[in-house]
Structure 1
Amino acid sequence: MDGVADLDDFAALVPRDHGLCVVSTLRPDGSVQSSVVNAGVLAHPHRDGRVVGLVARGDSRKLRHLRADPRVTIVVRAGWQWVAVEGTAELIGPDDPAPDVDAEALRLLLREVFTAAGGTHDDWATYDRVMVEERRTAVLVTPRRVYTNPGN
């Protein structure tokens, strides 16, 4: 494979470690900020193509960084296998409104991102309530470059 990968490769690793990924954003000074998130692959809700999606708290530093500079890298790994996606983040949430995305569409999108990352829930009403209370935002990463360690 020689380092070339696609979103199918990323998606294949998601269930192997609960969708745990490292996401890296740029601080205003140009340094890198990284954190661990759950992410998965899903169809873009408003256009053709697939994206890597994650859900972020409304008060998170990653959202502040992405609002200023939408460039992002997200890496999924399982054992020694990993796939990196570099791209541009699109934010859809209560503080980042998108055309044609009302409260109901956002509720469903947040669920879709959560389940794409391998999440399940016994009480969706509670999940929905917490998402609203925490002003959760869907982060959709459109890939520009996808790569992996050689030999995968």
Structure 2
Amino acid sequence: MSTLEDFARLVPGDHGLCVVSTLRSDGTIQSSVVNAGALVHPVTGVQVVGLVAAGGTRKLANLRARPRANVLVRAGWEWAAAEGPVDLAGPDDPLPGVDGERLRLLLREIFTAAGGTHDDWPTYDQVMAKERRTAVLLRPERVSANPRS
């Protein structure tokens, strides 16, 4: 049985690059490449897959209307996918228990969970705020993976 640990183990393999898939209003799938990682949900304390979406993106509009996604990570021939409902936390997507300061830190946590590092966190914070970035927290109901070689 695959677990979120299978997903997290592969994140460093390709710099946290993942594919997120959401549903369009017509039921077709929209996919894009993002950086994602595993971390603890800031409100519930459970393990989730986190990614950051810029304000105004199609994926964010899809997630607002249909809050469910699939995130796939791969490293070489190994892969793991997590699927489930999402919680959104951002300037246009308030999440009870996540105020402005907690959101600022959460965006950093997602970035580092995806393998990111930064030499100038204040500038990072300014860019995230200017771009109206939203934290996307996927609560995995199903994790699938190919077996290790």
Give the TM-score normalised by the residue count of structure 1. 0.95
List per-residue Cα deviations over 1:78-137 (Å, max 9, x = no partner): 010000101111100000001232211110010011100001001101100000000000
Find the aligned partners of 1:151 and 1:5 in 2 and give their Cα distance. Answer: 11
Mapping 1:22-37, distance limit 5 Å: 22-37=19-34
Q: For 2:105, which of 108, 123, 126 is the aligned residue?
A: 108
Q: Counterpart in 2 of 1:82? A: 79
Counterpart secondary structure, 1:87: strand
Find the aligned partners of 2:23 and 2:68 in 1 and give their Cα distance. Answer: 7
Runs of 4+ in 1 over 4 A off after TM superposition: none
Find the aligned partners of 2:131 and 2:96 in 1 and give their Cα distance. Answer: 21
Q: For 1:98, which of 92, 95, 113 is the aligned residue?
A: 95
Q: Counterpart in 1 of 2:146? A: 149
Mapping 1:29-68, distance limit 5 Å: 29-68=26-65
Give the root-mean-square deviation of aligned CA atoms: 0.9
Alignment: residue pair count: 149
What percent identity do the matched residue pairs reach?
67
Find the aligned partners of 1:77 and 1:151 in 2 and give their Cα distance. Answer: 12
Q: Counterpart in 2 of 1:6? A: 3
Q: For 2:135, which of 107, 113, 138 is the aligned residue?
A: 138
Q: In 1, are the aligned partners of 2:87 and 2:136 still within 8 Å (CA)?
A: yes
Find the aligned partners of 1:107 and 1:88 in 2 and give their Cα distance. Answer: 22
Find the aligned partners of 2:15 and 2:127 in 1 and give their Cα distance. Answer: 21
Q: Counterpart in 2 of 1:15? A: 12
Please report how far the alpha carbon of residue 48 of structure 1 lies from its aligned counterpart in structure 2 after TM superposition: 3.0
Please report how far the alpha carbon of residue 77 of structure 1 lies from its aligned counterpart in structure 2 after TM superposition: 0.1
Find the aligned partners of 1:150 and 1:40 in 2 and give their Cα distance. Answer: 20
